[in-house]
Amino acid sequence: MKVCIIGNNLTSLALAKALINKQIFVDIFYKNKKINIDKTRTIGLSRSNIDYFNTNISNINKILWPIKKIKIYSENSANEEIIKFEDQDRGLFSIMKNYKITNQLCLELKKNRFFKFKKDIGYKSLNKTDYDLLINCDLKHEITKKFFHKKFEKEYNSIAFTTVINHKKLKFNNTAFQVFTNKGPIAFLPISREKTSIVYSIRTKNFNTEINIESVIKKFNLDYEIRNIDKISKFKLSSSNLRHYYRNNILAFGDLLHKLHPLAGQGFNMSIRDISRLLEIINDKVELGLSLDKSVCVEFQNTTKSRNFIFSEGIDFIYESFNSKGRFKKKFIDRSVKLIGKNKLINKYFKKIADMGINL
């Protein structure tokens, strides 16, 4: 059995590693072999996805920083805490730097005899008969334009700014903060005792908008004695859900299937859940002595599409709720969220969804 993965990004690397661990031959076709990695970008992984990653893809415990508490604030309520999630024993989720996990996966793949990096030769020149499945993770590839361009899309008219603050070392730095400011949410995500990642989303249609990110960080900083701030990066925000997941034995995957607002840090978590489901389907085929073909794509779409769409819409609903205009409406939402957060059963349910996603 042999699988072709198109695109050289974190999701494609993780999927390739999961497949070769099952002794399935994998070729990744790339346009640029060197991945341009923004060192200010971080990834949050839920507890269940960490367990899956460690067992089925690669052990990442050494590059994780655990988060045991999440506090949500609202500028409209005088920066009052409106909801809190906590698990001091097992932790809620963990943060890792994008470039560290990317480098780890690349090194492990290159050493494995079941894997090869190959230069992208274009869809027409690709010998499709060499592969049982073709999995496309490249948003800009010709296959995407040809087969996977129909989406449910939404522009947030927002820009996300990311950076890392270096601060005085804390005895513990395991609490993540998110403040819903009147211009957009800002998240403080610890990555060590002396470093914390920042993600700030601001509503604007102009990508060239300049803001004093340092003053924003200082205004909403709750705990940190800041020493300096790293280089600031920015990118446009949008969401999308693909209408059709496959064409024959070609399966769309990763951000091509679903793209989310970063406020909940669920984008890569959804991709890991997709990898888990895809591997379940492939394992079932292998155990029954069946070949990998279009039926894998059909079953994957049938079992994940609705779940992914509902989860994506839930994240969008949360963003739009806190993004509501009007002071009275914002205060009403803040009070409602605060009441919901105090309910132990509802609080526990939200934590479970954030950890494991939606099961239909």
- Cα separation, 193 vs 71, whole angstroms: 18
Q: What is the CA radius of gyration of the chain?
A: 21
Write down the pLDDT at residue 206.
80
Write down the pLDDT at residue 254.
94
In the numeric block, which tokens belong to residue 292?
A: 């990998």
SS3 content of the chain, % helix, strand, coil (to 5): 40, 30, 30
Residues of the chain predicted below pLDDT 50: 326, 328-329, 332
**How much is the pTM?**
0.88
Q: What is the pLDDT of residues 315-334, one digit of tens each?
A: 888 777 766 554 544 554 55
Write down the pLDDT at residue 339.
57
- Cα separation, 317 vs 67, whole angstroms: 24
**DSSP SS3 for 157:** strand
Fold classification of 2-154+238-356 (topology level): FAD/NAD(P)-binding domain (3.50.50)
Write down the pLDDT at residue 51.
95
In the numeric block, which tokens belong to residue 134?
A: 């073709």
CA dihedral sign, ordered 179, 210, 230, 228: negative
Write down the pLDDT at residue 326.
47
- Cα separation, 344 vs 121, whole angstroms: 55
